[in-house]
Chain A
Amino acid sequence: MLRDITLGQYYQTDSVIHRLDPRVKLVATFVFIISLFLVDNFIGYLIAAAFLACMVKISKVPFRFMVKGMKSIVFLLLVAVVFNLFLTPGEPLISVWKLTVTKEGLRLAAMMAVRLVFLIIGSSLMTLTTTPNNLTDGMEKLMSPLKRLHVPVHEVAMMMSIALRFIPILLEETDKIMKAQIARGADFESGNLIKKAKSLVPLLVPLFISAFRRANDLAMAMEARCYRGGEHRTKMKPLIYHRRDRYAYAVLLGYAVVSVYFGRIFTL
């Protein structure tokens, strides 16, 4: 039943992008998103599109997996486009009833749509090519300078990786409890909204209890192994930059310079 849901959607294959250091991918995604919002002409978006297309190609992840991620933002996309289309003041193009489409509005709406689509594809490329554990490792390392400001970077990263680790476990648990209650005649499907919400009680109460029990057990197990946070902890697989990571940074820098130059400063 619930097995079909995939979260933390890593796509297993072997490509240069998969092998890159997670820090590179995080920085690259960040730079790419910033570039999307800096650029404001057609050439700039063309460059971004070409860059993204190359990365998708190199990653060997089928394109349909990235489209999957898009489904969740269709609504947001629609709202953004419609509002920009009708509510931007400027030179009117078409006017129906009280709604007026302006030239500026059309431009803004198109830009917003392209930005959002590229943003989603870009960030899902990162999650598709990096395992959740690698991702949190990368974040911890990238944010480690914040430790000086007493930000609990290690603790936050640890919490994130534990949360991610527990998603499949809790899904399985949900499936099990659901089946047990169905075996006792529970009905999770029929009835109106209130009845449906009520019918979730026999599922949610045991699920919460089991989540707390597991959390408790894990805390105990960690303490039994003398876990005490980030101080002086070493890693089993420390993140080390390789030559390919340096090349990747160079490519990224190239992209950033080119896209900002042509997309913002350079005008025909």
Chain B
Amino acid sequence: MAIILDHVSHIYEAGTAMEAAALKDVSLMIPDGQFIGLIGHTGSGKSTLVQHLNGLMKPTSGHIYYNGADIHEEDFNKKELRSKVGLVFQYPEHQLFEIDVFSDVCFGPKNMGLDEKEIQLRAYAALKQVGLEDDYFYQSPFDLSGGQKRRAAIAGVLAMKPEVLILDEPTAGLDPKGRDEILDQIAALREETGITVVLVSHSMDDVAKYVDRIVVMNQGSVLYDDEPRKVFRYYKELEEVGLAAPQVTYIMQALKEKGFPVEADILTIEEARDEILRALRHKGIAP
């Protein structure tokens, strides 16, 4: 049970002078329960790629399979697919429209044709999952702060109980605190429910801590697809395509080059601290 992309290409405005290839022969497999970071510079095709995953865009060539079925077959139920593969767009707060937060979160489940009680239960659970206080449920979504609006919008997608959750730059425009809160909540949600998460970002620092696997996109094709540690070994190549490894990786690399006996495959600040302490102890400097 997974999403499979088989040699998917997408060309914008094919056959005109404005023709531009956004995706070039992308093949990917997204297995159940994985936490994937989709990284790429602006214009690398990340957003185009994720819009293919729930059938909003149709590939110019190639096939996409969800649980073994081709999603562009005549008899495939796209509406159901969209409730199974929940897509949170960039700046999702711009899609809020209802008179209060709770009704807005109900919009998705309502479209699935569920009964009233189930709709409300799901909306309530989703709002709790994103950590929005009860006080805000019956306020106008336009009165909330930026971070709260974004949570409400994410809850709107979560209420459909998707099996795969795709978030397109969920931290864009948030301050560091809001960013960490949202990312921590997504990680907690994934721990709790075991859903598949695809996190689109252009910042390695954002995703390094959370994800199992990193897919690096460059100019419409997949450049690297591996565990974070292995991908960051290519930090020099990543720089060439306008990306960077997490900052700690650079520090550890620099220490190693100076002859300090540390491992350079480090993802987080905590790991780096432990590794440096270990090396110091090894040398007999630290206790």
Binding site for B on A (CB under 8 A): 3, 173, 176-177, 179-187, 201-202, 205-206, 209-210
Which chain B residues border A205 with CB–CB below 8 Å? 97
Contact pick for A186, options B54, B87, B111, CB 8 Å? B111
Contact pick for B107, options A177, A179, A184, CB 8 Å? A184
Q: Given A176-B89, A186-B111, A202-B107, do A181 and B95 touch, yes or no (CB 8 Å)?
A: yes
Q: Are A210 and B79 in contact (CB under 8 A)?
A: no
Contacting A at CB under 8 A, from B92-119, are 92, 94-97, 107-108, 111-112
User: What distance in Å separates the Cβ of B198 from its nearest Cβ neighbour in chain A?
Assistant: 13
User: What distance in Å separates the Cβ of A259 from its nearest Cβ neighbour in chain B?
Assistant: 38
User: What distance in Å separates the Cβ of B161 from its nearest Cβ neighbour in chain A?
Assistant: 12
Contact pick for B94, options A182, A201, A206, CB 8 Å? A206
Q: Are B157 and A183 in contact (CB under 8 A)?
A: yes
Binding site for A on B (CB under 8 A): 13, 51, 54, 56, 79, 82-83, 86-87, 89, 92, 94-97, 107-108, 111-112, 142, 156-157, 160
In the complex formed, the residue of A with least CB distance to B91 is A176
Q: Are B51 and A184 in contact (CB under 8 A)?
A: no
Greatest chain B CB density within 10 A among A3, A185, A202, A206 is at: A185
Q: Given A205-B97, A206-B95, A210-B94, do A185 and B112 touch, yes or no (CB 8 Å)?
A: yes
User: What distance in Å separates the Cβ of A24 from its nearest Cβ neighbour in chain B?
Assistant: 29
User: What distance in Å separates the Cβ of B100 from its nearest Cβ neighbour in chain A?
Assistant: 13
7 A-B pairs, CB-CB below 8 angstroms? Answer: A180-B87, A181-B107, A184-B157, A185-B107, A185-B108, A186-B107, A202-B97
Which chain A residues border B108 with CB–CB below 8 Å? 184-185
Q: Are B107 and A183 in contact (CB under 8 A)?
A: no
Contact pick for A187, options B13, B79, B83, B96, CB 8 Å? B79
Which chain A residues border B97 with CB–CB below 8 Å? 201-202, 205-206
User: What distance in Å separates the Cβ of A187 from its nearest Cβ neighbour in chain B?
Assistant: 7
Q: Report Cα–Cα, A183/B83, bound state, in Å.
A: 8
Q: Report Cα–Cα, A205/B142, bound state, in Å.
A: 11
Q: Report Cα–Cα, A3/B20, bound state, in Å.
A: 14
Q: Are B83 and A185 in contact (CB under 8 A)?
A: yes
Contact pick for B111, options A3, A176, A187, A201, CB 8 Å? A187
Which chain A residues border B111 with CB–CB below 8 Å? 184-187
User: What distance in Å separates the Cβ of B146 from its nearest Cβ neighbour in chain A?
Assistant: 12
Q: Are A183 and B87 in contact (CB under 8 A)?
A: yes
In the complex formed, the residue of B with least CB distance to A173 is B94
Q: Are B156 and A184 in contact (CB under 8 A)?
A: yes
In the complex formed, the residue of A with least CB distance to B12 is A3
Q: Report Cα–Cα, A183/B89, bound state, in Å.
A: 9
Which chain A residues border B92 with CB–CB below 8 Å? 180
User: What distance in Å separates the Cβ of A126 from its nearest Cβ neighbour in chain B?
Assistant: 23
